[in-house]
Chain A
Amino acid sequence: YEGVNTIKEMGRSIHEIPRQD
């Protein structure tokens, strides 16, 4: 990604699987 302007996204990226249903 050299030369690409990278923006950092610090938040969660995916849903969270629960420990138990």
Chain B
Amino acid sequence: DSCIQFTRHASDVLLNLNRLRSRDILTDVTILVNRQQFRAHKTVLMACSGLFYTIFTDSHKCNLSAISLDPKVDPEGFAILLEFMYTSRLTLKESLIMSIMNTAIYLQMDHVVDTCHRFIKTSDPS
């Protein structure tokens, strides 16, 4: 038996999901972070974040069309993590690393938290 593995398929699907997001096609939730709004697909959010998984698997919350995050969450940090969810690319800037990491802890994105820890360790000579 043979199987053909399309090695680019996962990234091609993600690229298309990101295009759908940028055109606001079938996005089904608005995430409110302080005063900023981010449109996204619930399925992508819950596939990447433990917090969103818990929210959208709750039968009382899964139909919500808007979710407000803790006001302590930095919108810039959230924007970077949302971009990561849809692109696999995490933009780590030293000036934003703490807010990215704290937002990743809040969103329960454990592997991103680990990556932030490693980034902090390697950029801090002490």
Contact across chains for B8 and A10 when beta carbons are under 8 A apart? yes
Interface size on A, residues (CB 8 A): 18
Query: Total contacts A to B, CB within 8 angstroms?
Result: 51
Q: Are B3 and A4 in contact (CB under 8 A)?
A: yes
Secondary structure type dominating chain A contacts = loop
In the complex, chain B residues whose CB is within 8 Å of the CB of A8:
4-5, 7
The total of chain B residues at the interface (CB under 8 A) is: 17
Whether B5 contacts A9 by the Cβ 8 Å rule is: yes
Could you list some 20 contacts between A and B, CB below 8 A?
A3-B1, A5-B1, A5-B2, A5-B3, A6-B2, A8-B5, A9-B4, A9-B6, A9-B7, A10-B8, A12-B12, A13-B6, A13-B8, A13-B9, A13-B12, A14-B13, A14-B16, A16-B19, A17-B19, A20-B23
